[in-house]
Structure 1
């Protein structure tokens, strides 16, 4: 059994289906290109994380489909298809799946370009004495969740995509009499202000990936 497994959540890159909140500002094609770059950046970053911290990484996508980028990643990284009717159910199912392989499971999104090796190290250290860890996002959600035990109730009836995600999760923790470590906050890329912030780090994004 691994000490830990880090699972990257991502949508299959499909025009008009990714980064949709940015579409009115930059258009569907640029949204697709941005999604691809963030997906690839997170994947490559996780390779560095596992090189330094051990464990294994997995790419989990929301659906299967022909895509050259995903096919290229799958040559070196295990691929997992998410199972569930909404994001919460998919995360709960993924945590239960991961705990069959590792003592600690971390799920991370694909749109937080400021997650560093140190943040992963801190999250894994917290899981040595807490059942759950979160890195919350500035917009009210979170960019990382980790667990050493399944707790499906945490992810039920959460208003995903809103500013209330972390607050509702706190309520779920209290109702389940659970404790969790909270790190952050960090920012992710959902809206035009986030993209402008990203451009200070990556001035050429979005740029086509083939």
Structure 2
């Protein structure tokens, strides 16, 4: 059983180790990372049917929605590695799978609601960190690199999402209660989070806006914007399956 301590731990640079070991040992508590280099946290759910992207259903089946979620996660992890942050860590709800890159650090999410899980990830990281979700597969290494660099001059960064939330939040240092009172998954989430950061006395830098994938119109727009992604390919296959069901072919 994994015990969720409230002690602060720090995330090391990823070690190149085989996937089989990551699957065997599961999430582990990394050792201390020296220095103040900003790292990258990726908050995700294990892509299992019925647990992820349920607002894609219908027209997707739960299996198709999970396939799209896996493609998003793969694209996001690839961009994270290519951005070459000081360290990168997947903060995961659920077990890792064959989609996990070798050497990627994995730790379990802790906390109840989304705000608590965000705060838990920052508290556990301890060092300057940028946190993103896995449902903006169009994110590029260049954008992640620029977002990490922004933490050198700002106390916090926010990446607006088109639905009124945010796709990224970064902190130069851990601040307890950073998400306290912020309603999550609402049209007002970004505004509320910005007000909370300002109330804590933090300077906030804005990142470029991205559209996250919650519904099929989001999925189609993101695939058009990033046609070379694995997500775009997966969506094309899902759209063909949906069309076949409608025509009975």
Instruction: Tell me which interval the TM-score lies in, with the shorter structure as reference length.
Output: 0.7 to 0.9
Matches within 5 A, 1:160-199: 160-199=184-223
Q: Is the 8 A contact 2:211 2:222 kept in 1?
A: no
Offset at 1:37? 0.4
Structure 1 residues 158, 27: CA separation in 2 closer, same or farther (over 3 Å shift)? Answer: farther
**Separation in 2 of the partners of 1:28 and 1:174?**
40
Tell me the number of residue pairs that the alignment of Structure 1 and Structure 2 aligns: 198
**Separation in 2 of the partners of 1:123 and 1:195?**
23
**Separation in 2 of the partners of 1:48 and 1:166?**
27
Return the structure number with greater helix share.
1
Structure-1-length-normalised TM-score: 0.86
Structure 1 residues 68, 123: CA separation in 2 closer, same or farther (over 3 Å shift)? Answer: closer
Structure 1 segments, 4+ long, off by >4 Å, are none
Are 2:59 and 1:25 equivalent residues in the alignment?
yes
The alignment partner of 1:107 has SS state of strand
**Separation in 2 of the partners of 1:174 and 1:46?**
28
Matches within 5 A, 1:122-141: 122-141=146-165
Offset at 1:130? 1.2
Offset at 1:120? 1.9
**Separation in 1 of the partners of 2:176 and 2:215?**
29
Return the structure number with greater strand share.
1
Offset at 1:196? 1.2
Matches within 5 A, 1:51-200: 54-63=85-94, 65=95, 68-69=97-98, 72-73=100-101, 75-99=102-126, 102=127, 104-200=128-224
Q: Is the 8 A contact 1:154 1:173 kept in 2?
A: yes
**Separation in 1 of the partners of 2:151 and 2:141?**
16
1:5-37 Cα shifts (integer Å, max 9, x gaps): 101111012211100111123221111000000
Offset at 1:48? 0.6
Q: Which 5+ residue runs of structure 1 have no aligned equivalent?
A: none
Match of 1:4 in 2: 38
Structure-2-length-normalised TM-score: 0.73
Offset at 1:149? 1.5
Select the structure with the greater relative contact order (CA < 8 A; seq sep ≥ 6). 1
Q: Is the 8 A contact 2:167 2:212 kept in 1?
A: yes
**Separation in 1 of the partners of 2:97 and 2:144?**
28
